[in-house]
Amino acid sequence: MSSALTKYLGGSWLSSARSGRSMTAAGKEAGYAVRQVSESAGTAAALAYVTAKKGTDPLIGGHAVPVDLSLAAVGIAGGLLMADHDMAHDLRNVGSAAISIYTYRKVQQLLANKGVTPAHGEACVGAEDPILAAARLLV
């Protein structure tokens, strides 16, 4: 291997990889990745279930309460309050996934209210999807 590439890769990283020492770090990161993906998927599944049963913004005390935003607040606040506990990472991941879902949903609503509809991966302002229009002619 060229000395420039070895220097770019950090030299010591390469020797650590050959000795197997960095594989422990890679194994830990893989475990963390699986854990975080599982928490995100679990959060999305739980929100989908609650949304199917109660709607996205059920009325509580006469006020519409966004379920996803509420879960995000609980997750992030819980992570801060339990900072010394191992579960802080889990709560933060749940809060992060929930806020992502809330943001996605709100941007979709905003675009729909402005007349922007998705058409084959691109935004098509104020126009009907040409494939759906052609399909209507077939019926």
- Interatomic CA distance for residues 54 and 35, integer angstroms: 28
Tens of pLDDT, residue by residue, the chain (139 residues): 455 555 555 555 555 555 555 567 788 888 889 999 999 999 999 999 999 998 888 888 888 999 999 999 999 999 999 999 989 999 999 999 999 999 999 998 898 888 776 655 555 555 666 777 777 787 6
Domain boundaries, the chain: 3-138
- Rounded to two decimals, what is the model's pTM? 0.65
The full 3-state SS of the chain, as one line of letters, equals CCHHHHHHHCCHHHHHHHHCHHHHHHHHHHHHHHHHHHHHHHHHHHHHHHHHHHCCCCEECCEECCHHHHHHHHHHHHHHHCCCCCHHHHHHHHHHHHHHHHHHHHHHHHHHHCCEEEECCEEEECCCCHHHHHHHHHC
- Interatomic CA distance for residues 75 and 94, integer angstroms: 6
CA distances for 50 relative to 39, 68, 107, 121, angstroms: 16, 10, 20, 28
pLDDT of residue 69: 94
Could you tell me if 98 and 106 are in contact, meaning their C-beta atoms sit under 8 angstroms apart?
Answer: no
pLDDT of residue 25: 79
Could you tell me if 69 and 99 are in contact, meaning their C-beta atoms sit under 8 angstroms apart?
Answer: yes
